Copies of this chain bind each other. A is one copy, B any other.
Amino acid sequence: MKWIFCFLIGVIVGLLGFFNNLAVENIAGIKFVVTSNLMLARKYTMAFLVFASSNFGLTLFASLITAFIAPEAAGSGIPEVKAYLNGVDAPEIFSLRTLLIKIVGSICAVSSSLNIGKAGPMVHTGAIVATLIGQGGSNKFRLPWKWLRVFDNDRDRRDLVTCGSAAGIAAAFRAPVGGLLFALEELASWWRSALLWRAFFTTAVVAIVLRALIDVCMRGECGLFGKGGLIMFDVTSANISYHLKDVPPVLLLGVIGGIVGSSYNLLLNKILRIYNMINEKGITYKIILACSISIFTSCLLFGLPWLAYCRPCPSDSSEPCPTIGRSGNYKKFQCQPGHYNDLASLFFNTNDDAIKNLFSKDTDSEFHLASMFIFFVTCYFLSIFSYGIVAPAGLFVPVIVTGAAYGRFVGMLVGSNSNLNHGLFAVLGSASLLGGTMRTTVSLCVIILELTNNLLLLPLSMLVLLISKTVADAFNGNIYDLIVASKGLPYLESHTEPYMRQLTVGDVVTGPLRIFHGIEKVSNIVHILKTTRHNGFPVVDEPPLSVSPVLYGLILRAHLITLLKMKVFLRNPAPVGSDASTQFSADDFSKKGFGHGDQIEDVDLSEEEMEMFIDLHPFTNTSPYTVLETMSLAKALVLFRQVGLRHLLVIPKTSDRVPVVGILTRHDFMPEHILNLYPDMVTGRWKRLRFQFPQSRKLI
């Protein structure tokens, strides 16, 4: 059953990824062909108007549908998926509506020449597809077949979402192994070997679907998409040889890449905060922001190539020069016949084609140093300013473009002191900037390997990634973690902070504890459910049901509401025996997909019913995880995180009191919560782990 689901996820995500690429290449392609033809006819103003207005229209459409129909579809989606896999349920993140907007919005936004990527939205798309398949349709249009809904528990859903997001990366970059590793390294909070295998199956299906579709494209039926091909940026060269003297420039590349990457994260985080303030003012402001970014981008993309000199075509070029039509490195732009504009071949192109140009070998003399610098700086800032708009937008591709420009720029500076050609420098530059922002290592290494099909480059790209990650980690965190934190999602880290070892769980348990008795009055239940927001409650048996107060187990809010709705009430407080649960099917208690479940406010009860009782015993989880109140907080966190809990009962050490002291939830382990209780813990060693910039903090 799970395998069939994984197969379906693989097929659907593979198809979506393919058609996503196809649509982007064709929409953007037609736009560029029309504009280029106008340029050839020397109608420059007209060309700019067509270019800018089509970009504007596409961006407007993407932001309108996102803002009005599914605001959850904005942005990359990777932070949300990461938080979900950590155990944070955010409503509406995985709905059918979000899926549709994400796909359409991403195609439009990427086609509109904004400097944003499609990988993040593909991950989110994959995750939504997995969720919808797992719950047998959306909440509203649910399939009637009950047997499809076998995944009504959190773990299986998380596994499916992991598979789906792995498939998303696999489809976006045609990198099955890299996608799998990215899902495991960056997204998943819990790994299991079985999960690894199932995710591998999913990405294998994606790879095979893509491979089959390429056969279709080979026959030239994909329009401007061309031949597709399984490898995106093929830089195979028969024999790359590099020696020890090539290592220092590569080290330098890694160090600077780490610094540039961490400053990227820093700036992006600041810009996102500013954008959030703007976006909170209302939908109109969101749309205006998106549109102004689009106009700004169009002006830059069209305007900056005019800065570059026209250069004569090389006589020994294997490609037609200047390029007429869609593909090809040598854009004519405003130049004379026989000349080409090197900046235009980067700017006036889709991001994919720009990367292809930057990665290509035997093009060392094609680009000018100043052009490369302009391109790098523009990409760097454009991608930072474009991410936060209200449209589906990824970060992966912009970082690859920026890194490639940076790497090629460094390669040009090093010049003939290295055996590596500039295309390889571009690949390594991408690796270093990716390492500096995303901070994953193995998965990026494999993604770059699969993107470029160059195994001999592996030792160098491993080196670059390690250095840039190490350097960048000294300054700030992973870009996705920063976004998760800025969204205020309670993400549970896997490591424990040192001060947690000095605290016991008894120190952080707060608030008045609400306890239910084994047989509880209906009015009590309704009152407690209405006055608290807790999702789990301990059930305690007291005399006469037992000799002394005994912890019976844990009952969930959702189950209590179900019981109230089903009105399984008793007139007298007497136990009903274990056969009471047989009148319910497991389906009544299963988790009802995403979004808000039933609310206590929806339950209508008469006065008479309020005075009746419920026997909670058959519906209580009798094996909750427990810790003693003297347990170290750090150890309790390890348990909470490793086992993937939502509630952890704290029981007293001595037996002369109530049998449960409190409940720990995710929020009790958040550093903000703990430091709020014990502000003097913010001292000493653990703060020294990150460099502080008191000066820059004050300025910004």
Contact = CB atoms under 8 A, between A and B. Distances in A.
Interface of A: 176-177, 180-181, 185, 191-194, 196-197, 200-201, 203-204, 207-208, 210-212, 215, 230-231, 236, 243-244, 441-442, 445-446, 449-450, 453, 455-456, 458-459, 462-463, 466, 469, 494-495, 504, 546-548, 550-551, 622-623, 625-628, 630-632, 635, 638-639, 642-643, 651, 653-656, 659
5 contacts: A176-B458, A191-B191, A196-B442, A547-B656, A642-B642
Nearest to A197: B441
A462 B176 contact: yes
Decide if the interface of chain A is mainly helix, strand, loop or mixed. Answer: helix
A446 B449 CA distance: 11
Given A463-B208, A639-B643, A551 B628 contact: yes
Contacts of A551: 628, 653
A359 to B, nearest CB: 15
A201 to B, nearest CB: 6
B177 A442 contact: yes
Given A212-B244, A215-B243, A177 B207 contact: no
Contacts of A194: 495
A631 B623 contact: yes
B623 A626 contact: no
Contacts of A212: 244
B445 A177 contact: yes
B635 A459 contact: no
Given A185-B193, A642-B643, A204 B466 contact: yes
A632 B642 contact: no
Contacts of A628: 551, 626, 651
A654 B193 CA distance: 38
A627 to B, nearest CB: 7
A211 B631 CA distance: 50
Contact of A459 (B176, B244, B625): B176
A492 to B, nearest CB: 13
A639 B469 CA distance: 33
A210 to B, nearest CB: 8
A260 to B, nearest CB: 20
Nearest to A234: B455
Contacts of A469: 197
Contact of A623 (B200, B207, B630, B654): B630
A452 to B, nearest CB: 9
A635 B630 contact: no
Contact of A547 (B230, B456, B622, B654): B654
Contacts of A177: 442, 445-446, 449, 458
B548 A655 contact: yes
Contact of A494 (B181, B193, B456, B630): B193
Given A550-B654, A623-B632, A639-B639, A450 B455 contact: yes
A459 B550 contact: no
A115 to B, nearest CB: 28
A212 B197 CA distance: 35
A231 B455 contact: yes
B201 A466 contact: yes
Given A176-B459, A639-B643, 13 more contacts: A191-B191, A194-B495, A200-B442, A200-B462, A204-B459, A204-B462, A236-B236, A623-B631, A625-B631, A626-B626, A638-B643, A639-B639, A655-B656
A624 to B, nearest CB: 8
Shortest Cβ-Cβ A-B pairs, 8 listed: A655-B655, A204-B462, A642-B642, A623-B632, A207-B459, A453-B455, A200-B441, A211-B459
B548 A654 contact: yes
Contacts of A632: 623
B215 A244 contact: yes
Nearest to A655: B655
A630 B552 CA distance: 9
A196 B204 contact: no
A199 B67 CA distance: 44
A82 B26 CA distance: 51
Contacts of A458: 176-177, 207, 450
B548 A180 contact: no
A163 to B, nearest CB: 13
A196 B185 contact: yes
Contacts of A450: 455, 458
Contacts of A463: 204, 208
A445 B463 CA distance: 23
A627 B441 CA distance: 38
A635 to B, nearest CB: 5
B466 A656 contact: no
A193 B458 CA distance: 21
A244 B212 CA distance: 7
A230 B627 CA distance: 52
A180 B442 contact: yes
A546 to B, nearest CB: 8
A508 B551 CA distance: 21
Nearest to A192: B494
Contacts of A459: 176, 204, 207-208, 210-211, 230
Nearest to A654: B550
A236 B456 CA distance: 12
Contacts of A504: 623
A40 to B, nearest CB: 34
A155 to B, nearest CB: 11
A449 B177 CA distance: 10
A546 B654 CA distance: 10
Nearest to A190: B642
A181 B196 CA distance: 11
Contacts of A208: 459, 462-463
Contacts of A211: 459
Contacts of A622: 630
Contacts of A180: 442
The CB with the most chain B CB atoms within 10 A, among A204, A230, A546, is that of A204
Contacts of A176: 458-459, 462
